[in-house]
Structure 1
Amino acid sequence: MIELKNLTKRFQTDKGVLTAVDDVSLSISKGEIFGIIGYSGAGKSTLIRLLNGLEKPTAGSVDIQNRKISAIRGVELRKARQKVSMIFQHFNLLWSRTVKENIEFPLEIAGVSKTERNARALELIELVGLTGRENAYPSQLSGGQKQRVGIARALANDPEVLLCDEATSALDPQTTDSILDLLVSINERLGLTIVLITHEMHVIRKICHRVAVMEAGKVVELGDVLSIFQMPREQITKRFVAQVTEAEDASETIRHLREIYPAGELVKLGFIGDQTEQPVLTELIRKFPIEVNIVQGNISRTQRGAYGTLMLQLKGSEEEIRAAIAFLEDRNVRTEVMTGV
């Protein structure tokens, strides 16, 4: 569906050449919800602008449905963009137009008849849950409602790809979840391919099938979201995963426990899928003559299943603790002894 090959984008600045996207290659399948995550300056916004031709690459190529977006110009590019829509962090609505008129705007530009524009706009208003608000102006809408208008407008030309540029960053958590639920529903109902960029791992966890982690213009980690949660490799990925799998004060808790209980081991367990529902801890306590204290735990749900983390303090003889850890590993529970915390 989407193929990026050795994609590079450089900008000339007062301080010299800046490489915003550095030799990125990846494929995105039709109907996939694909996330791109990174901190500010990672290059993710530039990458998404390369996908719809708002930026041209310095090197490499962008192919969407066998159309080389990176090479086409003029009328051909404008037609291609009708199939690659975009929603934005700050909505970008026309404030002098009503909800329905905002949604009709791209159809108007495309030369669609008034009757067809009206019918399509009303259909999309129902799809995004704004029935009864079609004659309201943006100033009369909440942030979530404005973003729903933005989504409906982006769908007006029946696109193949929907790009989301930090689409929930300006929204409160509850509204963010409602917009993410809407995107999942649209993906399932329309089979639409969605590519979203964000700096929030909660967004990735909730709706994405796969994720690319960007740092300094490069994709440093790529994979299925559940696998990334289970075993992040890069330090930056571990920080993102910790946003939603660990309490903010986990490190302080560990240090505090080490002061109180200098003996024993602190062990972090990772559970995936059906493992999160198995009574592994009960078996451990029954089987081994050790003291087990639960420090903290969490279960995160992704589009492909659940991933849980649990921090334990194991107290007892060194031999029994080693045997207990081996028992957990035999049950395919990922274990990590928290040394040097």
Structure 2
Amino acid sequence: MITISDVKKIFQTKNGTVSAVDGVDMTIKDGEIFGVIGYSGAGKSTLIRMLNGLELPTDGSVDVNGQVISKAKGRKLREARQSMGMIFQHFNLLWSRTVLENIQFPLEIAGVPRGERIRKANELLHLVGLEGRGDAYPAQLSGGQKQRVGIARALANDPKVLLCDEATSALDPQTTDSILDLLVDINERLGLTIVLITHEMHVIRKICHRVAVMEAGKVVEEGDVLEVFRNPRQEVTKRFVKEVAQQQESDDILDQYPDGKVLKLTFVGSGTDQPLITSLIRRFDLEVNILQGQISQTQKGAFGTLFIHLKGEREILDQAVAFAEEQSVKVEVMER
């Protein structure tokens, strides 16, 4: 569906050249929800703008659904953009137009007859859960409702790809979750490929199938969301995963429990259902103390981490650790 090949983007500024995107290769599959995450300045916004031709790469190519966007111009570029919808952080609605008129706007530009525009806009109002609000103006809507209008407008031309540029960053957590649920529903109903950029790992965790982590213009890590959560390799990825897990610093935990062993258990998929703690208590003469933990749902299953403290005879401790490692659980003995 989308192929990005050795893409680079260099900006000339009064202070010299800035390499916003530096040699990115990426393939996004048809029908998947693909996330690009990075902190400010990582290059993710520039990258997504190159997907619909708002920015042209300095080098490399961008192919979307068989169209080489990086070389398309004039009518071909306009046609290619009609196959892509885009939603923004700050909604970008027309404040002097009603909700229904905002949704119709892309169809109006495309020359679609008025009756067909109204029919399509009402269908999309129903899809995004805004029935009865067609005559309202953006100023009368909540932030979440405004973003729903933005999503409906982005779907007006029946795009094959939906681009989301920090689409939930301006929303509160509860509203964010409702918008993410809507995006998942749209992906499943319409088979739409969704590419979103964000600096929030919660967004990636909740709806994405795969993720690319960007830092300093480069993709430093990429893979299935569940695998990235289970085994983050780069420091920047570990920071993002930690934000979701909300874990204490391991040093702090070790300071509080100087005796015995502190284990970090990572559960993935069916492993989250295992009665591991119960088995440890029944099998071994140990004191087992649960320190902290959390289980999160991803699109491909559950991911969880649990810190436990084991206290007992050294030989029994070693046997308990070996037993835990035999289960479908990743075991890390925290070192002092």
Q: Distance in 2 between matches of 1:201 and 1:257?
A: 24
Are 2:309 and 1:313 equivalent residues in the alignment?
yes
Q: Distance in 1 between matches of 2:198 and 2:310?
A: 38
TM-score by length of 2: 0.98
Task: Tell me the matched-pair count.
Answer: 336
The residue correspondences of 1:187-336 to structure 2 (distance < 5 A) are 187-247=187-247, 250-251=248-249, 254-336=250-332
- The alpha-carbon distance between structure 1 residues 50 and 275, as it changes in their structure 2 partners (threshold 3 A), is same
Q: Distance in 1 between matches of 2:211 and 2:120?
A: 32
Return the letter of the residue paired with 2:123: E
The residue correspondences of 1:38-57 to structure 2 (distance < 5 A) are 38-57=38-57
Q: CA deviation at 1:256?
A: 5.0
Aligned partner of 1:28 in structure 2 is 28
Return the letter of the residue paired with 2:288: V
SS for the counterpart of 1:275 is helix
Q: Distance in 2 between matches of 1:47 and 1:211?
A: 14
Q: Distance in 1 between matches of 2:105 and 2:184?
A: 25
Q: CA deviation at 1:242?
A: 1.0
Q: Which runs of 5+ in 2 are unaligned?
A: none
SS for the counterpart of 2:77 is helix
Aligned partner of 1:76 in structure 2 is 76
Q: Which runs of 5+ in 1 are unaligned?
A: none
Give CA deviations for 1:162-202 in whole Å, capped at 9, x if unaligned.
Answer: 00000000000110000000000000000000000000011
Are 2:145 and 1:114 equivalent residues in the alignment?
no
Return the letter of the residue paired with 2:130: L
Q: CA deviation at 1:326?
A: 1.3
Return the letter of the residue paired with 1:227: E
Q: Is the 8 A contact 2:30 2:193 kept in 1?
A: yes
SS for the counterpart of 2:6 is strand
Q: CA deviation at 1:255?
A: 4.6
Return the letter of the residue paired with 1:278: Q
Q: CA deviation at 1:261?
A: 3.1
Q: Distance in 1 between matches of 2:296 and 2:310?
A: 24
Instruction: Point out the more displaced range, 176-185 or 320-329.
Output: 320-329
Aligned partner of 1:177 in structure 2 is 177
- The alpha-carbon distance between structure 1 residues 4 and 255, as it changes in their structure 2 partners (threshold 3 A), is closer
SS for the counterpart of 2:63 is strand
- The alpha-carbon distance between structure 1 residues 34 and 259, as it changes in their structure 2 partners (threshold 3 A), is closer
Q: Distance in 2 between matches of 1:142 and 1:154?
A: 18
Q: CA deviation at 1:257?
A: 4.6
Q: CA deviation at 1:339?
A: 2.0
Give me the identity figure in percent: 66
Q: Distance in 2 between matches of 1:229 and 1:266?
A: 21
Q: Distance in 1 between matches of 2:314 and 2:306?
A: 21
Give CA deviations for 1:22-64 in whole Å, capped at 9, x if unaligned.
Answer: 1110110110000000000000000000111000001110001
SS for the counterpart of 1:61 is strand
Q: Is the 8 A contact 2:268 2:301 kept in 1?
A: yes
SS for the counterpart of 1:214 is strand
Q: Distance in 2 between matches of 1:260 and 1:9?
A: 49
Q: CA deviation at 1:258?
A: 3.5
Q: CA deviation at 1:317?
A: 2.6
Give CA deviations for 1:269-315 in whole Å, capped at 9, x if unaligned.
Answer: 00011111111111111112222111001001001000111001111
- The alpha-carbon distance between structure 1 residues 256 and 236, as it changes in their structure 2 partners (threshold 3 A), is closer
TM-score by length of 1: 0.96
The residue correspondences of 1:119-138 to structure 2 (distance < 5 A) are 119-138=119-138
Q: CA deviation at 1:9?
A: 0.6
Q: CA deviation at 1:246?
A: 2.7
Q: Is the 8 A contact 2:254 2:334 kept in 1?
A: no
Q: Distance in 2 between matches of 1:106 and 1:294?
A: 55
SS for the counterpart of 1:35 is strand
Q: CA deviation at 1:318?
A: 2.6
Instruction: Point out the more displaced range, 188-197 or 6-15.
Output: 6-15
Q: Distance in 2 between matches of 1:53 and 1:159?
A: 15
SS for the counterpart of 1:203 is helix
Return the letter of the residue paired with 1:301: Q
SS for the counterpart of 2:85 is strand
